[in-house]
Structure formats: structure tokens, C-alpha cells
Structure 1
Amino acid sequence: MKLLSVLLWSSLLATMAPDAWAQANTIPSQPHLLVKGEGARTVMPDRFTVELLVKSTDLQPDAARSRVQGNVDAVLGAFKRNHALPASVVADNLTIQPDYRYSVQGKQEYLGTRVSRRLKGSFGTTGDLQAFLRAVDASDDLQISSMRPGYSKEAALRGELKAEAATQTRASAKHLATAYGARITGLYSISDVAPNFAYGVQAGNWPRSGDMVTPPSPPAPAPTSIETTGSRARESIEAGPITYTENVYAIFLISDGT
């Protein structure tokens, strides 16, 4: 009996899509198995990054530059006093450009020269981030543009998850080939981008298999809440767990086991 191409899927937790290794853009004409492996891990963040925009507009460019520099010095000082990780502190170069606004009549009005600079820094604890935000007087000229959690060992963790996902594809392919009385003759391709061929299944909508039993996930750690207050801004931060996911899609060549 001639073998047909078989599609197998298996999945665990899913959150973030990874960067691609390589996209397999062809499928073999001979019988094969397409399998998916997935590795996931939930961790508590240990990095807390804040980004700020410092800007000023004035008809005198040097006056705008001077105000921006004063606010930049204040932010850098607050980073240092509140134990920002030294290697994480970055201050971009000055950006200088004309600034305009539109009047009620729809006419463009020149406001002066806009000088701006972006800064970024990371903290190892939510307590240090909280103290930093309390030390910063947010205003129209000094804005907190974003705050986000992270994990210092993300790169190593993603490598582990890809290895787990690859191992899962090999085990799944072997199990399915045995069930069909076939044997695996070789690996045709492997990728962390979901193939989009004639299977009718695309990235993001692979069905979950009811036959695959996955171990229960440990309960997620409780989030840590922080509320900080500056003289001109009130910020609320919640640091919760982060789930990292890596997918691997592999095509194995097969033949009749007889």
C-alpha cells in the first residue's frame, strides 16, 4: 500500500513567535512526515527597562539644547543613584529639527527648533525602578515613553527551548512512523518558521492534538505590583511572569517498513 504524506502536530504553551532560522520553502515529492515540536518556559522577570524622551522647542536653538541637556543630566543622575545596570544605560545623540503646528485656520505655524534625546536604562529589581520613577519629574519636556520587563538569560533559555522542540519533533516522527508501519530514512529540512504549503495549515493555527499528553505547567508566580508617584506623574507597574516559546518544524523522509 502506497504511503501518503502525513501531518503531525504537537504543542505545549504558546506565547511569543521566535526569529527564524530558515524557512523551508519546498517539500519533497517522496513520502514524508511534517512534525512540529514546541518548547515553553515561564519565568519571573529580572530586568526592568524604562525609556524616556527628553525634548524642548524654542526659537533659540541653544536655549532648547540647554534645557534638554539639563534634563538629560538629571535622568542620568537618577539612573546612577538608583542602581541602574551600568551597561544598560544608553543616551542617544541629539536630534534637531524644525517644529510646526497647525492653526485653527489650518495654516502651518513655525514654533522654533525642536531638540530631543532618548534615554534608556534597566534595573535589576522593581524596588530600584520604583525609586527611579519617584525621582523623575515627568513633564511635557521629560516623558516616560515605555516600561517593560525582561529576563537576563533570555538568549540561553531560547536555545534550550529550541533544543527541546527539536527533540520533540524526532520523538513525534518516530512514534508516528511506527504507527503507520513506516520507517524514517532521513531528515529533509528543519525550520522555526511554520511552512505554508498545500497542507491547508499555516503558522498560528496548527490544531492541538488530543492524543498528545503534556505535563501540567507549574503555577505561575504571583505578580508583583508597584505604585510610584512623581511630582507630575503617577505610574502603576505590574511585574508578572513571562512565557517564552520556541517552535520547530521538521520534515522527515519515510519509506515502507516492509
Structure 2
Amino acid sequence: MKRISVSLVLALSVLGAQAQSISGQPFIAVHGKAKTEVVPDVFPLEITLKDTSLDAAATQAEIEGHAQQVVALTKAMTMADRDVEISNLSVSPEYRWDDKEDKQVFLGNTYARTIKLRFHALADLQKAIDALPKSKQVQLDTGNFQSSKQDDIRRQLLAQAVQDARKTADIMAGAVGKRIGSVHNISNQGFNVRYVESNEAGTLDSVMVSGARAPAPAPPVALREGVIQLVQDVYIIYTMAD
């Protein structure tokens, strides 16, 4: 975890509907926030093996052959079973509408498999992408990079956001000669994860990679680690006392 910053923000408008239930009693509605930036250590890759053809046997053999190559790659990289998810083979008919004939035309069956991998180093993700079959039937998509410590960070940020809201309420109540009373309502508005570009030297921003890999030689896929910004918000309504 790099740094944790806490901001003090009043959020009366967000809690207006909740505040209506406090009949006549003075109250304070506050917004507490805590956030941090972490370096990702989980790098997902979704591989879609897909093709449509009238030659059922040949197309199925090609898709299954690519799947076997991917499985062999995961074994060569000694990936844990929990980091490899392989779907069953999906077969579905494909049609197009012929306006001249005013009817559907059968194009063949679409054969597809999806393989989801999780890497724990960006270099391993890059290595896997470079080693995968170079075919139009192989589509790659890297998802959002993640942190394996996200749940622990979530709890830490939640506690800090509550403390932030309490400090805000104390300051506001004291400024008008009051003190805060009991908690009337508290709401966790969600845990937001997004990528941000860092200005620090040596760190790189994240990149999404998707699309079919053509047989022709292509330049190496550029992958950047970046940082993940984790944000926790808490909204609290306190009653006020003299």
C-alpha cells in the first residue's frame, strides 16, 4: 500500500431522503472517505477459441487443438489449478438472412471454448500472450488488474472512512455549540476500484488488450502494470445534543 489519504466532505444532498425520518430533531449528515493506491498482483487473461464452419469435424479439431496448446502452456508455466478455468465446448448453429431468397441461410456451426487464466506477475502474462497460438480463432482479452489484498484493504478503508465522518461531525457540531449524539443512520455506498495513471518515475499505467491474433507477425503486446486506486465511502447521520 503506497499511501492513504482522508478527505472531509459534507454530503447533505445524498442523505436528504434518509434525514426526513428525523422529525424535528437537529441532525448532522456527513460523508467520510478513505482511499489508497496499490500495485496490482493479479493479472487476468481471458482466451476465447471460436470459429464458424460447415466442416464440423475440422473446426472442432482445430478449436480443441488450440485448447490443448493453452493447457500445455499452463502446465509448462506451472500454473496452479485455481488459476486456470476451462469451459466446456459450446456448439451453436449460425445463420444469416438472405433478402433475395427471403429466408435464413445456414452458415455452419460455431464452436467455442473460453479459458480464463490468472497470473501473479505481469511478466508471466506477457510470456503467455507471446506463446499463445497465432490464429484468427484465438481472441485475447486482459481484464482489469487486481490486488490479492483487496478484501483486507477494504476493511481498513471502511474503518478509516467511519473515523473521517466522525471527525467531520465533531467539528461541525462544535462550531455551532453542539455535540453529536447517537448514530441515526449509516450507509456504505460501495467499494470503487479504478485505474489511475501515476506520475511517479518507474510506474506504468494499465492497458486493456483484446482482439483476434492474426497469423501474420505482429508487434509485441504492450502491457503496463500501473496502480489501482481503491476508494471507500461512508455516509452517516448523527443526532445533535446540547
TM over 0.5: yes
Deviation of 1:140 after TM superposition, in Å, equals: 2.1
Counterpart of 1:167 in structure 2 is 163
Return the match for 2:230 from 240, 244, 247.
Answer: 244
Give me the whole-angstrom Cα distance separating, in 2, the residues matched to 1:74 and 1:103: 38
Give, in whole Å, the separation in 1 of the partners of 2:235 and 2:108: 55
Deviations 1:21-53 (CA, angstroms, capped at 9, x unpaired): xx9953222211111111111111111111111
Q: Is the contact made by 1:64 and 1:115 (CA closer than 8 Å) also made in structure 2?
A: yes
Shift in alpha-carbon separation, 1:237–1:231, aligned structure 2, 3 A: farther
Aligned runs of 1:1-258 on 2, under 5 Å? 10=8, 26-27=18-19, 28-29=22-23, 30-101=25-96, 108-193=104-189, 220=200, 222-224=202-204, 232=216, 233-234=218-219, 235-255=221-241, 257=242
For residues 52-76 of structure 1, what are the alpha-carbon distances to aligned partners after superposition, in whole Å with 9 as ceiling and x for unaligned?
1111223244443322211111112
What is the number of equivalent residue pairs in this alignment? Answer: 214
The gaps in structure 2 that reach 5 residues or longer are 1-6, 10-14, 191-197
Letter in 2 for 1:223: T
1:220 Cα shift? 4.6
> How far 1:83 moved relative to its partner?
4.3
Contact 1:51 1:146 in 2 (8 A): yes
Q: CA deviation at 1:151?
A: 0.8
SS in 2 for 1:10: strand
Residue identity opposite 2:65 in structure 1 = G
Which deviations, in whole Å up to 9, do the C-alpha atoms of 1:66-90 show, x marking residues without a partner? Answer: 2221111111222232344431211
Q: Deviations over 1:80-137 (max 9, x none)?
A: 3234443121112222211124568586431111111111111111111111111112
CA contact (8 A) 1:137 1:230 kept: no
CA–CA distance in structure 2, aligned partners of residues 144 and 223 of structure 1: 24
Gaps of 5+ in 1: 1-8, 12-22, 195-217
Contact kept, 8 Å, 1:222 with 1:240, in 2: the verdict is: no
> Normalised by the size of structure 2, how large is the TM-score?
0.76
